[in-house]
């Protein structure tokens, strides 16, 4: 990757090869740090909401480290971010003995789910006001695979599901019968909210599994993704089970990409460009300003064409759906590694 690394001679030993970051790599790193600083309040809110969904308001640091890419956290967030907010978070030892992060103060202003926010707009204003009065329920946006949603029994089943009360993922769920349909809808709401908090609107199934008990979702929660293909995508690409929130994508691309997502696509473009020039001489590589400007122009062109700012049509944000079959039946099969 000559666009990211360059070789230079040692000051004393001419035959000793040394390597450093290129100006392009340093510029990208600087842009990433600027994004983290500019969106720090948003990051704190996102992390607080994740902890607010936990039964004990606590999450193992190991689990959060696995999720830091998806949640848009800085690499060393426990050192550079958490200490700046001692009134919000504290480091504790979990009952299992592992290090964990605990939310110190409940933030009522954060206890509004993405589904509730989406219904606060003008178009859905009346329905949301009725929901707040307890006169109606909130419906999950649905986008079924071709032909699936047209089946009468599927439509009837979905209508009954949508009529069930919506339980906020920030509400205490311990009083709900764990085997009830209401608890299943609550679990769908938790997964919907968690994926909404990720900047790519997706995460690995195993990352969710590590937080299953704290999130109070079923042991075989993967079946929820296959039972509700109108809400979730489930992908098995690269032998990894990944789940994505369907409403977060249009034609396989993110609808509202976070600035970090855009920056990551710049990194991808720079890396791929480096492969093209590998072995051909560093002097042939475009200057950093030209290289990054080319990427920005490509992203703008793609967005004007309909939001597809990633110029690789086979990028992993395009999902291959698992066959759903009769997933609405009682005998729903589970997908487990």
What is the pLDDT, as a whole number, of residue 293? 65
What are the residues whose beta carbons fall under 8 Å from the beta carbon of 285, sequence distance 6 or more?
Answer: 2, 3, 273, 274, 277, 291
19-64 per-position pLDDT tens digit? 999 998 999 999 999 999 999 999 999 999 999 999 999 999 999 9
- Tokens 């919907």 — which residue? 192
d(CA 170, CA 154): 29
pLDDT at 204 over 80: yes
Comparing CA positions, the residue from 185, 226, 243, 212 lying closest to residue 335 is 226
Residue 120 banded pLDDT, cuts 50, 70, 90: confident
The encoded tokens of residue 120 equal: 């606060």
Number of Cβ within a 10 Å radius of residue 197: 22
Residue 15 banded pLDDT, cuts 50, 70, 90: confident
Phi and psi of 246, rounded to 5°?
-65, -40
C-alpha dihedral (23, 28, 32, 35), degrees to nearest 10: 100
CB 67 within 8 A of CB 107: no
What global pTM score does this model have?
Answer: 0.82
Report CA torsion sign: 130, 134, 135, 139.
positive
d(CA 92, CA 64): 14
CB 164 within 8 A of CB 157: no
**Bigger pLDDT: 14 or 244?**
244
């Amino acid at each position: 990757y000559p666009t990211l690394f360059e070789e230079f001679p040692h000051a004393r030993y001419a035959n000793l090869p040394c390597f450093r970051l290129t100006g392009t790599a340093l510029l990208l790193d600087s842009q990433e740090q600027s994004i983290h600083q500019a969106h720090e309040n948003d990051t704190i809110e996102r992390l607080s909401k994740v902890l607010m969904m936990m039964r004990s308001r606590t999450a193992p640091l190991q689990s959060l480290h696995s999720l830091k890419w998806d949640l848009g956290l800085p690499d060393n967030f426990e050192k550079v971010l958490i200490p700046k907010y001692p009134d919000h978070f504290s480091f504790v030892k979990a009952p299992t003995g592992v290090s964990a992060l605990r939310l110190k103060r409940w933030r009522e202003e954060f206890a509004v789910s993405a589904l509730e926010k989406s219904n606060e707009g003008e178009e859905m204003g009346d329905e949301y006001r009725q929901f707040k009065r307890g006169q109606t329920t909130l419906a999950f946006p649905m986008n079924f695979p071709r032909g699936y949603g047209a089946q009468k029994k599927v439509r009837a089943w979905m209508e009954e599901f949508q009529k069930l009360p919506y339980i906020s993922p920030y509400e205490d769920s311990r009083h709900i019968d764990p085997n009830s349909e209401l608890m299943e809808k609550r679990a769908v709401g938790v997964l919907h909210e968690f994926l909404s908090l990720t900047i790519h609107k997706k995460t690995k199934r195993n990352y969710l599994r590590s937080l299953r008990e704290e999130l109070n979702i079923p042991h075989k929660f993967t079946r929820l993704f296959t039972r509700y293909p109108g809400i979730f995508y489930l992908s098995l690409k690269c032998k990894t089970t990944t789940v994505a929130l369907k409403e977060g994508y249009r034609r396989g691309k993110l609808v509202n990409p976070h600035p970090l997502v855009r920056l990551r696509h710049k990194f991808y473009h720079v890396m791929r460009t480096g492969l093209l020039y590998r072995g051909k001489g560093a002097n042939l590589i475009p200057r950093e300003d030209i290289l990054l400007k080319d990427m920005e122009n490509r992203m703008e062109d793609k967005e004007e064409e309909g939001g597809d700012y990633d110029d690789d049509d086979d990028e992993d944000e395009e999902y291959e759906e698992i066959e759903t079959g009769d997933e609405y039946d009682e005998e729903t099969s589970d997908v487990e590694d």
